Structure 1
Amino acid sequence: MPLTLYKRGKIYHYRGTVAGRRLRGSTGTAKKAAAERFISELEDKQWKGHFDGPGSVLTFAQAAILYRNAQKSTRFLESVENYWRDTLVADIKAGHVQKAAITLYPRASAATRNRHVIVPTQAVINHAAELELCSHLKVKRFVVVSKKKTPVTWQWVQTFMANANPHLGALCCFMFLTGARVGEAVDVRWEDVDLAKATVLIRETKVGSERLAHMPPALVVAIANIEGERLPEEKVFKYSSRDTAKPQWNKVLRRGEMKKLKPLTFHSCRHGFATTLLHKGVDPITVSKLGGWKSPQHVFQTYGHAKEDVRIVNILTDTQEEHDKSAEGDYNAKTAG
């Protein structure tokens, strides 16, 4: 039965079967001529999808709805949804995505264009491809010039905590000792924290999964010292987002002993987590697992900074006995001081 119109109130609705599919819905209009045009175009679209495959009629807006319904990460998704709207997915090529990135972010860095446009656009289309609704899309990323970033150290964190309020100090400590991203950290609720077991559930927004992280004793103490009622659904660090925490963070950087240190960012804490573990001999595979990175290679390439002390090559000729004596000498020197 072809689509037929009927009125529900003042609005025309439609029902019927096209290309073996039962359809029913609203035209959104009270004008019969507009409603007739609506169902005519809908019938054409259904037959085209029937003969040429679903990819011939799939729009980016429809693909984005499927992506959202699958509870995928929606970070940076809204801007690309507004850009592509009802563009057919089949018409979106790699070059079009790169052009979109330049159009939406004309003065932004390559990393921003990759992260805000190429990644979400590709994710939506490739999710639809996994549902066999279209073909996969590969887009070449803009070349990012790597800049050496300064990681925080435990000493830096301790100084920051001494100059910050308990919530912000604990937040800094949390990011450094768990490797959590700031968005993940501010979203931690009291129901996610188990002080007795020294564990915390971290929802990894960037990769869409969760991990149960261990909390070192210093972090357990910092969180335990946060005052106030601890309702299960309430946020541990009180900040609604990174944007509300950032002004307070910047104020601390201008206080006391912090003025003598290099001003570092939220991400420097996660950076310090990986760098410190690597320098202490923990392998990249373990570091990537502990910090929620997908790729050990990414951890090694991004955070595996070379040590500055050139004398480290002395270990090439050290015997175990010489190494033990050296370590004992260092310990005695520290205790004597």
Structure 2
Amino acid sequence: MPLEPYKRGSLWWAKGRVEYLGKPITEYYRCSTGASEAAGAWAWCRDEEERRINEHLLGANRTLTFAEAVMLYPANPKTATYLIPIVEEWGKKLLSSIAPKDVRALAQKIYPDASTDTWTRQVITPVRAVINTFRDGDKGEAFRVKGFSKQDRIKQDKRRGKRSRVKREPGSWEWLLRFRQHAPQRHAALALTMFVTGARISQAVAMDPEKHFKPDEGLLCVPGAKGHDDRWLEIPAELVEELKALTQFYPRGAARTDENRRLFGFADRSSPRKGWAKACKEADIPFIPFHAAGRHGFGQEMNVRQSIDEKAAGEFGGWADTALMKRTYTHAEEVAGKVHEAFYRGLREAEKLTKISLSAGAIPYKSRTKPKKKG
């Protein structure tokens, strides 16, 4: 049983054992934390766990450094690259001495010309993850770092002379048709697949021609991602025929085994980039990245251009939160034209109701003053 507080009289006590990787590393606790409130008791449990885990890993009277904590943290390859410059700065810094303000300051020191989004992604998030490996949020207060505000983002963008969060143009049928005229066969099929299913590039390149495609039934499976299960979708007949026509592909250099078989033949999400960019250039169309052309294009087409039921669009495209879909994956188009059309539509209704024409002009100011009373 993990260490947790409980109230006994006017004070909070702690019970349980300190665990590491699911295994107890201490004897059973049943002692007072000295705290009169639950928050203080949870903090005591958190500090005691961190101290005993340090002792378990490093021996008594040792405090974990940030570099040692990183070595114990199961980082994925991308996070590992972010942690390298942080360790170079903070390798010998004690984990217990790190404050939220220190993390924000470090981000600005390592990446002075980066955006606030980069600071968050490449410094705040990995540092927080490493520290929270030793602070279980279910048992106590997690290590939190206040993010950068909108004002911080604007100030940094001005300082570096570059705007962040530039809106990307979403894909469209017109763009897609022009792209496909100049794209290689599998790039063309990939683009169409992402646009009509809302699949991410990582999901599309992972598709297996047998496991994820049932041509006789007209079904395509989009592999699960970000907490979602696989989803089988009924796809247009044109896409079925195009996928059936694809050659049996294997990533370049990979052994021709079943586990290496890919529907589009790309090894990873970056593999199609060169051919994708070349097709855009030859078609004389804007370069739209995979995610914007596919998933954003699907969201825009369904929600803005065709205005279908958002529940249907969300379920088909794999959004559990339709509010997120509409907030993130839809974009303003033809803004001035739509606004002007709305203006004139309202004006025509008002002119019809009042029988007054806007083109008749306004009454001069002096003529609108009230006449003086006689006598």
TM-score normalised per structure 1 = 0.63
* Partner residue in 2 for 1:195: 214
* SS of equivalent to 2:272: helix
% identical aligned pairs? 23
For residues 183 and 262 of structure 2, the distance between their equivalents in structure 1, rounded to whole angstroms, comes to 18
For residues 319 and 71 of structure 2, the distance between their equivalents in structure 1, rounded to whole angstroms, comes to 25
2:290 matches 1:271: no
For residues 238 and 229 of structure 1, the distance between their equivalents in structure 2, rounded to whole angstroms, comes to 4
* SS of equivalent to 2:231: strand
* Partner residue in 2 for 1:136: 142
The change in CA–CA distance for 1:203 and 1:123 in structure 2 (over 3 A counts) is farther
* Partner residue in 2 for 1:117: 123
Is 271-280 or 115-124 further displaced after alignment?
A: 115-124
For residues 265 and 314 of structure 1, the distance between their equivalents in structure 2, rounded to whole angstroms, comes to 37
Contact 1:67 1:127 in 2 (8 A): no
2:240 matches 1:240: no
Match of 2:204 among 167, 185, 188: 185
For residues 210 and 102 of structure 1, the distance between their equivalents in structure 2, rounded to whole angstroms, comes to 38
TM-score normalised per structure 2 = 0.58
After the TM superposition, which residues 1-337 of structure 1 pair with which residues of structure 2 at under 5 Å, given as runs? Answer: 45-47=58-60, 57=64, 61-62=68-69, 65=72, 67-68=74-75, 74=76, 76-82=78-84, 83-84=86-87, 87-126=93-132, 128-130=134-136, 135-142=141-148, 143=150, 145-196=164-215, 197=217, 198-204=219-225, 207=226, 209-217=228-236, 218-228=238-248, 232-233=258-259, 234-255=261-282, 258-259=283-284, 261-269=285-293, 270-279=295-304, 280-282=306-308, 284=310, 287-293=313-319, 295-308=321-334, 310=338, 311=341
Offset from partner CA, 1:267-315 (integer Å, 9 cap, x none): 2222111111112234556545544456433322223334535347999
Offset from partner CA, 1:306-328 (integer Å, 9 cap, x none): 45353479999xxxxxxxxxxxx
Contact 1:186 1:240 in 2 (8 A): yes
Offset from partner CA, 1:207-253 (integer Å, 9 cap, x none): 35543152522332332221126864212222223333211111111
* SS of equivalent to 2:223: strand
For residues 119 and 187 of structure 1, the distance between their equivalents in structure 2, rounded to whole angstroms, comes to 27
Larger radius of gyration: 2
Contact 1:177 1:215 in 2 (8 A): no
The change in CA–CA distance for 1:60 and 1:190 in structure 2 (over 3 A counts) is farther
For residues 285 and 149 of structure 1, the distance between their equivalents in structure 2, rounded to whole angstroms, comes to 24
What CA RMSD, in Å, does the superposition of the two structures yield over aligned residues? 3.8
Offset from partner CA, 1:128-151 (integer Å, 9 cap, x none): 433768741222333455433211
* SS of equivalent to 2:222: strand
- How many residues align? The count is 264
* Partner residue in 1 for 2:39: none
